[in-house]
Structure 1
Amino acid sequence: MEKTGTNVWNNCLQIIKDNIPTQSYKTWFEPIKALRLEGNVLTIQVPSLFFYEWLEEHYVGLLRKTVKKQLGDEGRLEYNIVVEKSSSSKPFTTNMPSTGNGSEAKYQSIPVAVTLNKDIKNPFVIPGLKKLQVDPQLNPNYCFENFIEGDCNRLARSAGYAVAAKPGGTAFNPLLLYGGVGLGKTHLGQAIGNEIKRTNPEKLVIYVSCEKFCQQFVDSLKNNTINDFVNFYQAMDVIIMDDVHNFAGKEKTQDIFFHIFNHLHQSGKQLILTSDRAPKDITGLEDRLLSRFKWGLSADLQVPDLETRMAILKKKMYADGIELPTEVIEYVAHNIDNNVRELEGAMVSLLAQSTLNKKEINLGLAKSMLKNFIKHTSREISMEYIQKLVCEYFEVPIEMVKSKTRKREIVQARQISMYLAKSHTKTSLKSIGQFFGGRDHSTVIYACQTVEDLIDTDKKFKNYVQDIQKKLKMS
């Protein structure tokens, strides 16, 4: 029987099918077409450059063995990569077998036109339009005009404004904004997107949460539309992705985003990411992806100081056409210092109470209404409660913490209890030492210093302390 490209490739597929999961086979090998066989060179057509990169990275060894088995040691595989919807394509040749861990891909760097059309099934595409149109998923209320600048966010805001003025054209790519809950990461990220759309309406901008991106990827696997999914995101000019720390543990989704990230970055497109922690503290991500998050600028948003909190409240009141006594604004800003979201929520509750009960907003009403928001300020935490909380957290008996034992887990619980007692109560060092087993003040000083040193050097220990502190705040 005469060898043809089709039957040689079909023989290769039989071997490949027996060596990889069924879903992987359907996703990465069924779409491939055999074009021709010329001597020892088998030419196959793959749908996109991304497809080629994926095969080279994940299946090059398997391809090398199967082609060698069918065509001998001199066998070569040539990829014909479709770069447009028309018949236009570019050949990429790979020698089989090759030296090293990967194959020797011989091709020149060329621009690849991503095929997109109205048939792509993506929740962000506006149907019925020939030219790709995308709903950017941006909230128009999130803009630079109502993002109050302070020492807590000056670097992040300045970098964001620079990116908005020249997306993809600054050193801030990616721009990673990180900070705690309610400090304005989403607001600033979307403000950048809104400004870009205002000045460059033709640019394709998309805001997407990490969770939604992960769900879309799962759906594309289920529906066998992985190409549409990847091509859609690779066609964007600006991607704003919220909460990238949620990639943790999702290896396949990380892999897809890694390739999308590379494509966009190399094409001079802008990526804006947000996270609840600094890149160095994000766990569960592949090193290669994490390193790319550090390529541009990582800017943190911190808890705003009193002056910034007051400015935020005044700005909100002005936008809503409301006037409040200065003493009320000062009281709310002074007592609610966790995050901007809670600050604004407290003010909304105060306004609602005033409107519904037809009461004038004054300091008395503010104190009465906001006690649920600031209850932690009027209730002092006791050493007994701290000790109970720490012992429950580490599952050690309370009486052991006060004993003379030097067991590591007991010493750790005792030192953290002393540290928290010093931080959260007004008790003297001498009294703290006496409470924890009749120890002197120097032991308390040593315990606090040890805890502080471990917080700076031991990530796991730092998480312990932060978890317990969160429980204290919630109590």
Structure 2
Amino acid sequence: RFVVGQNNEFAHAACIAVANAEQAIYNPLFIHGGSGLGKTHMMQAIGQKLMLNKPGVRVVYLTCEKFINEFIDTVRKGSLERFRKKYRRADILLIDDVQFLGGKERSQEEFFHTFNELLDLQSQIVLTSDRPASEITNIEPRLISRFECGLTVELQPPGIETRMAIIRRKMDEWDVALHSDILEMIAERIQSNVRRLEGALVRIATFASLGTEQVTVERAEYLLKDILQQEGKKRVNIDAIQKTVTEYYDLRIADMTSRRRPSNIAFPRQVAMYLSRRLTQCSLMEIGEAFGGRDHGTVIYAVRKVQQRMECEPQVRESIEMITTTLHRK
């Protein structure tokens, strides 16, 4: 069962619409968001609902990694025809983690033609990724264009009310009673994703079921010490990023928002935008606004530029790792 909140209600509604539709709509449906937010859960629910509504429907679900590995194996064995029949005759194709197509040129070519054939047949395509299509690196523009031609929905980390609803539902399912102070502490301090939240609940519920010691807020904090430390690392804001980047590159804070474009300023500013996208929950628009009112396209360009340089310039990757470590220590 899926707990719906502001963070996922649009994505949830889109998935229901796709699952209940008589023919392909929002094609493709592209779901993106961080790890542990429910992308795979939603995708699989679409497939299950369709099989329930339409007995005999051909639903194909797999990870992008499996698609790539199968394709490589098929090419080696010379059995491409069977591979193509399997994926190009699906009524609904569900592919998880399409960002892994990045850098796989032959797999991209195969997937591009598979995608087009399924669209021509009016088969439904649902894709998930850990980032927006425009931020996937080393992938052909024509594939990005295909990914963006349907409906794109984003899953955000759950808000406090949704986190509390998830916790209470789990406690009911497991028939575990914990003091409300403990539940509130968990909901307030574990914000990044549902998977980590549920992992914390399993740990506390298991300890409570042993009955050897009363669970207090202090005991819960001790039991969750490693998780809470990881959560603490997530709490980085744009101001802190700008300050840390300017200190590292020996610039002024004003350079982060100025219109000046010499390379010694422009690239550090792009680094700060990249880190803002990776380490905060701010939208592209919010990030652009914090960097002198730039538009979201500028932020997307900055993110891709930094990713590309990190892949081919070890010193850039090392610099960003050092800045990230500094931010997490603050």
Provide the TM-score with structure 2 as the length reference: 0.75
Contact 1:178 1:277 in 2 (8 A): yes
For residue 189 of structure 1, what is the aligned residue in structure 2? 43
What is the SS of the residue equivalent to 1:201?
coil
- Is residue 2:281 matched to residue 1:281? no
Shift of 1:389: 7.1
Distance 2:155 2:148 in 1: 17
Query: Is contact 1:178-1:274 (8 Å) kept?
Result: yes
Q: CA deviation at 1:298?
A: 0.6
Match of 1:159 in 2: 14
The Cα shift of 1:451 comes to 6.7
* Preserved contact between residue 456 and residue 462 of structure 1 (Cα < 8 Å): no
Tell me the equivalent position of 2:145: 291
Q: Which amino acid aligns with 2:123?
A: K
Q: Which residue identity lines up with residue 47 of structure 2 in the other structure?
A: G
Question: Aligned partners of 1:210, 1:151: CA distance in 2, in Å?
Answer: 28
| 1:460/1:286 CA distance change after superposition, 3 Å | closer
1:354 deviates by 3.3
Mapping for residues 453-472 of structure 1, pairs under 5 Å: 453=294, 457-459=298-300, 461-462=302-303, 471=325
Q: Deviations along 1:11-53, whole A, 9 cap, x unmatched?
A: xxxxxxxxxxxxxxxxxxxxxxxxxxxxxxxxxxxxxxxxxxx
AA aligned to 2:15 is: G
Query: 1:339 and 1:253 mapped to 2: Cα distance?
Result: 31
How far apart are residue 408 of structure 1 and its match? 4.6
Report what 1:47 is aligned to: none
Q: Which amino acid aligns with 1:195?
A: K
Provide the aligned C-alpha RMSD in A: 3.6
* 2:298 partner amino acid: T
Q: What corresponds to 2:214 in structure 1?
A: 360
Change (3 A) 1:348 1:256: same
Cα distance in 2 for partners of 1:416, 1:293 equals 26
CA–CA distance in structure 2, aligned partners of residues 412 and 244 of structure 1: 28
Rounded Cα–Cα distance in structure 2 between residues aligned with 1:298 and 1:410? 33
SS at match of 2:60: strand
Identify if the C-alpha distance between structure 1 residues 413 and 171 changes in structure 2 by more than 3 Å, giving closer, same or farther: closer
Deviation at 1:376, TM superposition (A): 6.2
Asked if 1 retains the 8 angstrom alpha-carbon contact of 2:176 and 2:205, the reply is no
Q: CA deviation at 1:226?
A: 0.8
Does the 8 A contact of 1:376 with 1:473 survive in 2? no
Structure 1 residue 159, shift from structure 2 partner = 0.8
* Alignment partners' CA distance in 2, 1:182 and 1:283: 22
1:409 aligns with 2:264: yes
Q: Which residue does the alignment assign to 1:310?
A: 164
Partner of 2:177: 323
- Tell me how far 1:325 sits from its aligned partner: 2.2
Stretches of structure 1 that go unaligned for 5 or more consecutive residues are 1-145, 425-447
Within a 5 Å distance, the mapping from 1:31-430 to structure 2 comes to 146-166=1-21, 169-356=23-210, 358-375=212-229, 390=245, 408-409=263-264
For 2:3, what is the secondary structure of its paired residue?
coil
Aligned length: 290
Contact 1:401 1:410 in 2 (8 A): yes
Q: Which has the higher helix share?
A: 2
Conserved 8 A contact 1:258-1:289: yes
Percent of matched pairs sharing the same residue = 35
Counterparts in 2 of 1:330 and 1:174: CA distance versus 1, 3 Å = same
Question: Does structure 1 retain, via aligned residues, the 8 Å contact 2:244–2:327?
Answer: no
Q: 1:297 to 1:454 in 2, by over 3 A?
A: closer
Q: Deviations over 1:166-201 (max 9, x none)?
A: 26x143111111111111111100111111122223
8 A Cα contact 1:211 1:246, kept in partner: yes
Q: Deviations over 1:357-404 (max 9, x none)?
A: 7223332222222222223677999xxx98997599x7x6xxx569xx
Whole-Å separation in 2 of the counterparts to 1:259 and 1:190: 24
Tell me how far apart the structure 2 counterparts of residues 179 and 151 of structure 1 sit (CA, whole Å). 14
For residues 122 and 268 of structure 2, what CA distance do their matches in structure 1 show?
51
- Structure 1 CA distance for aligned equivalents of residues 160 and 131 of structure 2: 23
Return closer, same or farther for 1:413/1:221 CA change in 2, 3 Å cut-off: closer
Q: Distance in 1 between matches of 2:115 and 2:76?
A: 23
Counterpart AA for 1:353: F
Q: Distance in 2 between matches of 1:175 and 1:386?
A: 33
Distance 1:369 1:208, change over 3 A: same
Relative contact order, CA 8 A, sep 6+: which one is greater?
A: 2
Return closer, same or farther for 1:286/1:461 CA change in 2, 3 Å cut-off: closer
- 2: CA distance, partners of 1:271 / 1:414: 37
d(CA) in 1 for partners of 2:7 and 2:290?
Answer: 27
Per the TM alignment, residue 461 of structure 1 is displaced from its structure 2 partner at its CA by: 3.7
Aligned AA for 2:144?
L
Contact 1:179 1:276 in 2 (8 A): yes
Q: Distance in 1 between matches of 2:201 and 2:10?
A: 27
